[in-house]
């Protein structure tokens, strides 16, 4: 994903995304302008409450991508045993992806969805981590042959 690849190189646009979004200012990266513009269309596809969760998670994801470079050196202490999961749950868009499985057309009961979300969030996170470990995604800008070589370990 573009944001994952570039935020650590230049975190400022991602750290400032929410402020600029709320104040109606242009973003510091054109891709972020597109993200901001796309939020309104989420309400066309999802019930307002579900759309709110999707957008909130997207905002959190962008912010955390901006600080992820500092998180890499983070060392938890014994008193903060859950801090790795706390950080992990914010560096993915698991809740947004989970809510995206419930479009308006399905007439979903919010309470039933809410009960399923913890397991959905965990399953999406673990699947993402497993796939990222087994099939590491090569950096943007590499061509198909280079990606194949990276995945095969021959690059």
pLDDT at 93: 81
Spell out the per-residue pLDDT of the chain, length 155, in tens: 677 778 878 888 988 999 999 999 999 999 999 989 999 999 999 999 999 999 999 998 888 888 777 766 666 666 777 777 777 777 778 888 899 999 998 888 888 888 998 899 888 888 877 877 666 655 555 544 544 454 455 54
With helix as H, strand as E and coil as C, how does 65-132 read?
A: HHHHHHHCCCCCCHHHCCHHHHHHHHCCCHHHHHHCCCCHHHCCCHHHHHHHHHHHHHHHHHHHHHHH
Provide the CATH topology of domain 2-152.
Answer: Farnesyl Diphosphate Synthase (1.10.600)
Q: Smallest Cα–Cα separation from 136: which of 128, 144, 125?
A: 128
Its pTM stands at 0.75
What's the Cα-to-Cα distance from 97 to each of 56, 57, 94, 131, rounded to whole Å? Answer: 12, 9, 5, 16
pLDDT value at residue 153 = 54
Q: Do 94 and 33 contact (CB within 8 A), yes or no?
A: no
- Domain parsing of the chain, residue ranges: 2-152
């Amino acid at each position: 994903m573009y944001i994952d690849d570039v935020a650590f190189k230049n975190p400022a646009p991602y750290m400032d995304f929410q402020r600029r979004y709320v104040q109606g200012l242009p973003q510091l990266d054109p891709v972020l302008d597109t993200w901001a513009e796309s939020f309104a269309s989420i309400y066309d596809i999802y019930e307002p409450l579900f759309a709110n969760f999707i957008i909130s998670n997207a905002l959190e994801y962008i912010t955390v991508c901006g600080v992820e470079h500092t998180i890499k050196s983070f060392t938890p202490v014994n008193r903060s045993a859950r801090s790795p999961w706390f950080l992990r749950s914010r560096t993915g868009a698991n809740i947004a992806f989970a809510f995206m499985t419930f479009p308006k057309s399905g007439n979903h009961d919010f309470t039933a969805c809410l009960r399923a979300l913890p397991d959905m969030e965990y399953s999406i996170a673990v699947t993402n981590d497993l796939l990222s470990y087994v099939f590491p995604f090569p950096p943007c800008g590499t061509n198909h042959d280079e990606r194949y070589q990276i995945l095969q370990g021959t690059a």
